[in-house]
Structure 1
């Protein structure tokens, strides 16, 4: 029993569950990489709290750097790009046309594409503004032009080649040279892949080549002539459509110097060609093209009846 004058002992305060200073600090303020640190009362640093604080700070910085990476400076570099190399100087224009042909042929036989382009530009400057009537284009130069038309770089070279070929074919002597060099076959086989302006000039040159007997025979005997002309006729208008109709008339008719030579004629079904021609005549076409188209439709009608009568016998 307790004595009457003895006071009861005060109970000691309950001991906290964790006495770690770091845990006590964490419970007082929640650390977050996105919230500002609250001002804490100044404490006397100890070894344990210093190491814990350093660990907590490095952890917070690591998390912040991972969550919010440093971005590169989006400002573009102010250094100017290197200037492109200067284009080669153009080939000089010589005093005679034959010398120009020789220089152009020499450069067109080179393996360098830039040399070929310079030669085509030289011929364009000399031949196109003033088409020559004499002397005749050398066969070697004409073969080089045909090779350029067939090259993989048609988009660049065809613009020059078709201009030069048309200007040269204005002279009758050059039409024979062009056909012998394979220009007629090259135009037929590449027309579908040329741009509008280039294919119009190519067909104009082909029509001029067909004024020779060998040119008309080449066009009639080529299996791709009719499908190629039908395809480009749908793309073209005006004079381009007129040229395509004229070449089809040469295939099915006796125009162009072919005569009754008896050469083999490669044709498509007359009904399909007639439908394509009639559709072309409904659009934009020249007066000459409409006259040739009307004559071609009559020829195709007779040709179709001839085929039917032959099949019936």
Structure 2
């Protein structure tokens, strides 16, 4: 294909060969040469074009510049010192656990702001609790009942559900706080709001629910809730592997009691949902829980 190079034409017409030719030609108005003025020596022969001359390099540079403009070259690889390590460590160390007296003071201030403050004050108090409790979940002292009720109530609000689920899970890691959470109505609240939560929020809420079900009162509360089974079945088909494990664990608590019978939900429908969930991505613990649940469902169906 023939390619027209405007730049190459410009360079050729401005080179010394064409300039010399134009200067040596006499114009019609010029005077004839006199004998006292001998004619100038003939001009030197024009330079022979070389295959690798400046014109070819100019053409190459022109083509290269066009290629770079049309198809940008990729950025070079970053220097080794700017690459991330394969196992990055946290940039800042985790804060130390709060002393007992400071934690009590934090609970008191947060309780006042969450239960009596404005919406921005409640959200600010929740974020303060999140920053203080999530890195180092406390085991002592127990969360005050009024503060726990405020945290549970904020599970129902979209703007505050994310920090509230983090705080509830961090508190429920201590057995004493599980009692407080069950008494604050956390079991029924998690069952009712779980379908409306984002995936990460639902995972934390179901993890807290599983912890509360380790208590007799928590297990009794989830068994008596009419929406517990349909909600857990629906969540198994929507959430990720770890959260699916928590939903299976809650169902195992519901059907693990020999006195449950067939009144909660049709066991064959629940078993079908569990088998489908186990075929998808599920943790090893979830598979073990699922096998126990299927056995309990079979016994309840007989």
Q: Which TM-score applies when normalising by structure 2?
A: 0.65
Structure 1: gaps of 5 or more residues = 1-92, 255-259, 306-313
The separation in 1 between residues aligned to 2:261 and 2:301, in whole angstroms, is: 17
Kept in 2, the 8 Å contact 1:222–1:266? The answer is no
Q: What count of residue pairs does the alignment treat as equivalent?
A: 204
Cα shift at 1:97: 0.2
CA RMSD, 1 decimal: 1.8
Kept in 2, the 8 Å contact 1:233–1:280? The answer is yes
The separation in 2 between residues aligned to 1:116 and 1:251, in whole angstroms, is: 35
Structure 2: gaps of 5 or more residues = 1-97
The separation in 1 between residues aligned to 2:263 and 2:141, in whole angstroms, is: 35
Counterpart check, 1:244 vs 2:250: no
Counterpart check, 1:210 vs 2:216: no
Q: Pick one of 176, 192, 213 that aligns with 1:189.
A: 192
Counterpart check, 1:279 vs 2:246: no
Q: Pick one of 179, 190, 205 that aligns with 2:182.
A: 179
Kept in 2, the 8 Å contact 1:162–1:198? The answer is yes
Per-residue deviation, residues 225-284 of structure 1 (Å, max 9, x unmatched): 000001111011211000000000000003xxxxx8x68996111111011000000100
Could you tell me which residue of structure 1 aligns to residue 60 of structure 2? Answer: none
Counterpart check, 1:293 vs 2:299: no
The separation in 2 between residues aligned to 1:117 and 1:137, in whole angstroms, is: 18
Kept in 2, the 8 Å contact 1:221–1:266? The answer is no
Q: Pick one of 222, 228, 232 that aligns with 2:231.
A: 228
The separation in 2 between residues aligned to 1:263 and 1:118, in whole angstroms, is: 43
Could you tell me which residue of structure 1 aligns to residue 204 of structure 2? Answer: 201
Cα shift at 1:110: 2.6
The separation in 2 between residues aligned to 1:298 and 1:172, in whole angstroms, is: 29
Could you tell me which residue of structure 1 aligns to residue 38 of structure 2? Answer: none
Over 3 Å counting, the alpha-carbon distance change for 1:301 and 1:265 in structure 2 is closer
Per-residue deviation, residues 195-245 of structure 1 (Å, max 9, x unmatched): 000000000001100111100000111101000001111011211000000
Over 3 Å counting, the alpha-carbon distance change for 1:141 and 1:239 in structure 2 is same
Cα shift at 1:295: 1.4
The separation in 1 between residues aligned to 2:207 and 2:108, in whole angstroms, is: 26
- Bigger radius of gyration, 1 or 2? 1
The separation in 2 between residues aligned to 1:264 and 1:158, in whole angstroms, is: 35
Counterpart check, 1:112 vs 2:118: yes
Counterpart check, 1:124 vs 2:130: yes
Aligned pairs for 1:29-178 within 5 A: 96-150=102-156, 153-154=157-158, 156-178=159-181
The separation in 1 between residues aligned to 2:178 and 2:260, in whole angstroms, is: 20
The separation in 1 between residues aligned to 2:245 and 2:190, in whole angstroms, is: 16
Could you tell me which residue of structure 1 aligns to residue 30 of structure 2? Answer: none
Q: Which TM-score applies when normalising by structure 1?
A: 0.63
The separation in 2 between residues aligned to 1:110 and 1:104, in whole angstroms, is: 10
Could you tell me which residue of structure 2 aligns to residue 69 of structure 1? Answer: none
Cα shift at 1:111: 4.8
Could you tell me which residue of structure 1 aligns to residue 64 of structure 2? Answer: none
Kept in 2, the 8 Å contact 1:221–1:265? The answer is no
Kept in 1, the 8 Å contact 2:261–2:300? The answer is no
